[in-house]
Amino acid sequence: MVPNEVYADMPTDPAAQSSRHNAAPSARFEALVLPYLDAAYNLAHWLTRNPTDAQDVVQEALLRALRYFDSFRGGDVRVWLLAIVRNTYYSWRTRSAHDPQLTGWDDDAHPQVDETPSPETLTLLAVDIDALRHALDRLPPPLREVIVLRELEECSYKDIATITEQKIGTVMSRLARARERLKVELTCHPKEVRRHDVR
């Protein structure tokens, strides 16, 4: 005979059973994904360069993440979420006004200057934060995203390759170009900076 306490815990309403069944994945999603909300917003903010747009991108990305959470098979949740944020941003930009920086980026057309970080690059953190922020804003999105993921989010090359769907070699060369461009942006006068912009 089954004790009465067991029956007390069993919902008799099918809707209540369904609600309890759906609560488990939702709680798991919150526990695994929500701790990386700041990282998601940070990436979206650097890509959109606008706090309101960044919030919109993150909100849409979280809805996508929740919708496809069943397809997450383990691994690094932060990398999975940042990949969704990045893809959401590019989808969002496609729906928005045309941005010439998003098209026409060719890694071969922009030769890499030096793969090893220069002393100037190593001292970027000592630069005035506003100057650094403006310099990052002027980078084309493919360069901005790799440097934000590497230097601000401290992602590994492998993680960045996963997030951006690029080969590790491409990530490394873009990162070297991004560092070089930052150095140029931080050391040139405004007129000289415009000359180096990639259209």
pLDDT in tens, 129-147: 778 888 888 899 899 999 9
Question: Torsions phi, psi of 91, nearest 5?
Answer: -65, -40
Is residue 13 predicted with pLDDT exceeding 90? no
User: Rounded mean pLDDT of 54-72?
Assistant: 93
Which amino acid, 116? T
User: Rounded mean pLDDT of 188-194?
Assistant: 47
What pLDDT was estimated at residue 163? 95
- What's the whole-model pTM score? 0.65
Q: Give Cα separations from 144 to 3, 21, 47, 136, 162 (angstroms).
A: 62, 42, 7, 6, 16
CATH code, residues 20-96: 1.10.1740.10
Distance CA 43, CA 45 (A): 5
What pLDDT was estimated at residue 103? 46
Is residue 21 predicted with pLDDT exceeding 80? no
What phi-psi label fits residue 103: left (phi over 0), alpha (psi between -120 and 50 degrees) or beta? beta
Domains of the chain, residue spans: 20-96, 114-196
CATH code, residues 114-196: 1.10.10.10
DSSP 88-144: HHHHHHHHSS--GGGS---GGGS----SSPPHHHHTGGGS-HHHHHHHHHHS-HHHH
